[in-house]
């Protein structure tokens, strides 16, 4: 127990923290990571890549190991009003496997840690693990450990995924060169539009409990939000086509933001063509229904877990017939910046497309 003097000290500290909050928010997620980690140094020769890519790389003498970890928090990353626990478990694994795919590696082992509050029944946690198991089977992953604890409120899931590959196959965010083609897998903006639909139906339900959610014709985008897939199939495809991208990142925070990371880490500029950005018809129609620009949703909507990568021009012929890959632009000199060429031919800086307060602090 604290005595009164200690409690006063503590209060002063908390008040100070409170005043400081604006500063934390102004740093943003990446600024905060940088702020907290800048005084840490890497000296071990085995540490080939530390903070700053989709996964860290460790040289194991022979193969290299890639490791990535992520945390999902109830009511920040998922809402049990509309996300079944089985999907939450699946998505937790898939989103982490996606970070390993982003290194051009196939994940092989996983550790799963959970903190659960007293509102969770055994059956509920079992359901979560049905999803975890389904994802382990889908991505050929072995569950090798984790941790279990209690939380005051809600559910926390922390996942660590590990994969191995020969050094020559591992792709970082930093290898793109001027003239390289910029490619994406699948289509974009669907997960974000799925979330908009689910949020709308949640509000309708909260206002009138008799109303049934109307998800008619929204199955694809709702699926993209609730049960996304990591694009391990694209890693298999690239292997089959004998293409090793020059750089790669997964699209978890939106294409615009990932292009920013990729170009910053590779010291190149990017030119993206709006008419080449792949958008599914259902995403397109739903964006219009919500009075949103489909392009803005595709550029800035998060959680698509598609892969964004660059290839040398000489590899174009190898990928040009792959229906699931789109070439959306190319890398330019760094000083040319990051640009979007709109359908009408206007050139707009990529950052200007972003919605400033769009992303929560995740």
Binding site for Mg ion (CB under 5 A): 54, 99, 250
- Among 304, 345, 346, 348, smallest CA distance to 326 is for 304
Strand ranges (E), the chain: 47-49, 56-59, 64-73, 107-116, 142-150, 156-165, 181-185, 247-251, 269-273, 306-311, 325-332, 338-341, 347-349
Residue 51, contacted partner among Mg ion, ligand ADP, none, CB below 5-8 A by kind = ligand ADP
| Cβ at position 340, least distance to ligand ADP in Å | 22
Q: Is 47 in the site for ligand ADP (CB under 6 A)?
A: no
Binding segment toward ligand ADP, per CB under 6 A, in 49-57, 138-146, 326-334, 347-355: 49-57
Q: Which residue is nearest to ligand ADP (CB)?
A: 51
Please, which residue, 316 or 361, has the CB nearer to Mg ion?
361
Q: Is 252 in the site for ligand ADP (CB under 6 A)?
A: yes
Task: Give the span between the Cα atoms of 306 and 185, in whole angstroms.
Answer: 6
Binding segment toward ligand ADP, per CB under 6 A, in 45-53, 130-138, 159-167, 170-178: 45-53
- Could you tell me which residues come within 8 angstroms of residue 138 by beta carbon, excluding any fewer than 6 positions away? 94, 229
Residues 283, 271: contact at Cβ < 8 Å? no
What phi-psi label fits residue 83: left (phi over 0), alpha (psi between -120 and 50 degrees) or beta? beta
Q: Is 348 in the site for ligand ADP (CB under 6 A)?
A: no
Task: Give the span between the Cα atoms of 348 and 259, in whole angstroms.
Answer: 14
Q: Is 201 in the site for ligand ADP (CB under 6 A)?
A: no
Residue 70, contacted partner among ligand ADP, Mg ion, none, CB below 5-8 A by kind = ligand ADP
Per CB under 6 A, contacts with ligand ADP among 316-335 are none
Residues 157, 113: contact at Cβ < 8 Å? yes
For tokens 């490619």, name the residue.
183
Residue 187, contacted partner among Mg ion, ligand ADP, none, CB below 5-8 A by kind = none
Binding ligand ADP by CB under 6 A: which of 12, 25, 37, 336? 37
Please, which residue, 53 or 201, has the CB nearer to ligand ADP?
53
| Cβ at position 158, least distance to ligand ADP in Å | 12
Instruction: Tell me how far CA of residue 60 lies from CA of 10, 233, 259, in angstroms.
Output: 46, 26, 31
Longest CA pairwise span in the chain (Å): 74
Q: What angle do CA 93, 325, 238 make, to 5 degrees?
A: 70
Q: Is 99 in the site for ligand ADP (CB under 6 A)?
A: yes
| Cβ at position 144, least distance to ligand ADP in Å | 20
Please, which residue, 257 or 310, has the CB nearer to ligand ADP?
257
Please, which residue, 136 or 248, has the CB nearer to Mg ion?
248
Please, which residue, 84 or 354, has the CB nearer to Mg ion?
354
Binding segment toward ligand ADP, per CB under 6 A, in 52-60, 83-91, 165-173, 182-190: 52-60
| Cβ at position 225, least distance to ligand ADP in Å | 17
Burial (Cβ within 10 Å: 0-12, 13-18, ≥19) of residue 110: buried
Task: Give the span between the Cα atoms of 328 and 274, in whole angstroms.
Answer: 8
Q: Is 247 in the site for ligand ADP (CB under 6 A)?
A: no
Burial (Cβ within 10 Å: 0-12, 13-18, ≥19) of residue 352: exposed
Q: How many residues bind ligand ADP (CB under 6 A)?
A: 9
The residues of the shown chain that bind ligand ADP, judged by CB under 6 A, are 33, 37, 51-54, 70, 99, 252
């Amino acid at each position: 127990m604290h005595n009164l003097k200690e409690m006063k000290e503590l209060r002063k500290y908390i008040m100070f923290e409170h005043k400081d909050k604006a500063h934390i928010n102004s740093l943003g997620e990446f600024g905060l990571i940088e702020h907290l980690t800048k005084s840490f140094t890497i000296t071990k020769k085995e540490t080939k890549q530390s903070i700053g890519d989709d996964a860290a790389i460790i040289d194991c003498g022979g193969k290299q190991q890639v490791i990535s970890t992520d945390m999902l928090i109830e009511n920040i990353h998922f809402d049990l009003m509309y996300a079944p626990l089985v999907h939450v478990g699946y998505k937790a694994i898939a989103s982490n496997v996606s970070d390993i795919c982003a290194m051009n590696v196939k994940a092989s082992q996983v550790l799963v840690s959970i903190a659960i509050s007293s509102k969770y029944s055994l059956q509920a946690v079992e359901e979560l693990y049905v999803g975890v198991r389904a994802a382990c089977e889908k991505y050929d992953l072995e569950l090798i450990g984790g941790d279990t604890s209690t939380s005051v409120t809600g559910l926390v899931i922390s996942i660590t995924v590990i994969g191995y590959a020969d050094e020559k196959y591992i792709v970082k965010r930093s290898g793109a060169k001027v003239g390289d083609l910029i490619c994406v897998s699948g289509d974009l903006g669907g997960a974000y539009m799925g979330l908009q639909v689910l949020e709308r139906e949640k509000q309708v339900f909260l206002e009138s409990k008799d109303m049934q959610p109307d998800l008619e014709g929204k199955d694809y985008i709702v699926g993209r939000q609730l049960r996304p897939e990591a694009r391990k199939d694209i890693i298999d495809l690239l292997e089959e086509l004998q293409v090793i991208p020059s750089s790669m990142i997964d699209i978890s925070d939106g294409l615009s933001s990932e292009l920013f990371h990729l170009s910053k880490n590779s010291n190149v500029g990017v030119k993206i063509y709006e008419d080449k950005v792949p958008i599914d018809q259902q995403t397109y129609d739903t964006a219009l229904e919500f009075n949103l620009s489909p392009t803005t949703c595709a550029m800035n909507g998060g959680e698509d877990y598609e892969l964004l990568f660059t290839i040398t021009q000489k590899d174009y012929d190898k990928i040009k017939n792959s229906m699931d890959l789109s070439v959306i632009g190319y890398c330019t000199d760094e000083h040319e910046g990051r640009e979007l060429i709109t359908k009408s031919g206007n050139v707009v800086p990529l950052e200007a497309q972003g919605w400033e307060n769009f992303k929560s602090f995740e």
